[in-house]
Amino acid sequence: MNHITLGFLASLIAGCATGIGAIPVLFFRKQHFSHRLKDLLLGFAAGVMLAATAFSLLVPAIAIGGVWIAVIGIIIGALLLDGVDKAIPHEHFEMGREGASSNLRRIWLFVLAVTIHNFPEGIVTFLAALQEPKLGVAIAIAVALHNSPEGIRVSVPIFYATGNRKKAFLYSVASGLAEPLGAILTFGLILLFAGEASASVPQQMTGIMFGAVAGVMVYISVDELLPISRSYGRGHDSILGLMAGMALMALSLLLLR
């Protein structure tokens, strides 16, 4: 399997994890999404993202382009996501509460924002696979572990607002497919500017992209996942989920060596 095919496959698997994470919405009743489960899942997702940022993104970004390239990328990623949040503001919906059904328009804006957030993850997964296949697989695993609880995060507000389980599930799947679309976009840009699919991406560009996605992941973890995971006052559950997510991410990277 060549690097390009692996890059597309890795981004597709990472994106499909959003739909896999939304599967419970097809079977669970509303009350099954307890506050404690929500805190654990979101804390877990934050732990996975922070560990992936440190080990799978920042370390390669520094190795490829140097410290300043990585820092510039982080700033670009954080500012980009901040701009997206301001352009398409979304509410932090609380799983398990009827209030999520009060404004359907806000929920669709929220789902759209999550979908847009998925694009850079697909881009960096594809670029990582082009750079080094093992690194691409490691990042795909990190993104997939983050996307699984994100599937619940997307599907539950839609389920509460519409009462339609299939619609909630399908929209979660669609939001995850933004990642392979990001890979396709990256591939197209490489063809456009380099003229051939096998052309290598400049190291500085790759380093900035890795740093940018690191900035996106830190922004999402600190601004969204961790605050929401503590919204019911169960901070210890959030921290337990965080540590479990970081440990699992570290273990997956160790096994891939």
Give residue-wise pLDDT tens across range 91-109: 555 444 444 444 566 667 6
CA distance 52 to 72: 18
Structure tokens at 60: 């390669």
What's the token pair of residue 188? 């197209």
Higher pLDDT, 67 or 103: 67
Following CA atoms 166, 89, 70, 238 in sequence, which dihedral angle do they give, to the nearest 10 degrees? -60
Percent of the chain with pLDDT over 90: 5
Mean pLDDT over 116-132 rounds to: 79
Whole-number Å distance between alpha carbons of 208 and 247: 27
User: Could you tell me how many residues make up the chain?
Assistant: 257
Banded model confidence at residue 12, pLDDT cuts 50, 70, 90 = very high
C-alpha 186/C-alpha 173 separation (Å) is 21
Could you give the maximum distance between any two Cα atoms of the chain, in Å? 54
Phi/psi-derived region of residue 163, left when phi > 0, alpha when psi is between -120 and 50, beta in every other case: left
Q: What are phi and psi of 163, to 5 degrees?
A: 75, 10
Section 32-56 average pLDDT: 74
* pLDDT for residue 100: 43
Determine the pLDDT at residue 257.
Answer: 62
pLDDT tier, 189 (very low <50, low <70, confident <90, very high otherwise): confident
Average of pLDDT values for 58-87? 84
As a whole number of angstroms, the distance between CA 90 and CA 95 comes to 15
| Mean pLDDT, residues 154-181 taken together | 85
Query: Residue 218: left (phi > 0), alpha (psi -120 to 50), or beta?
Result: alpha
Indicate the burial class of 198 (C-beta count within 10 angstroms; 0-12, 13-18, 19 or more): exposed
pLDDT tens digit sequence for 201-243? 677 777 887 888 788 778 877 877 777 777 665 667 888 888 8
Q: What is the reported pTM?
A: 0.66
Looking at every residue in the chain, the average pLDDT score rounds to 77
pLDDT bin (cut points 50, 70, 90) of residue 181 is: very high
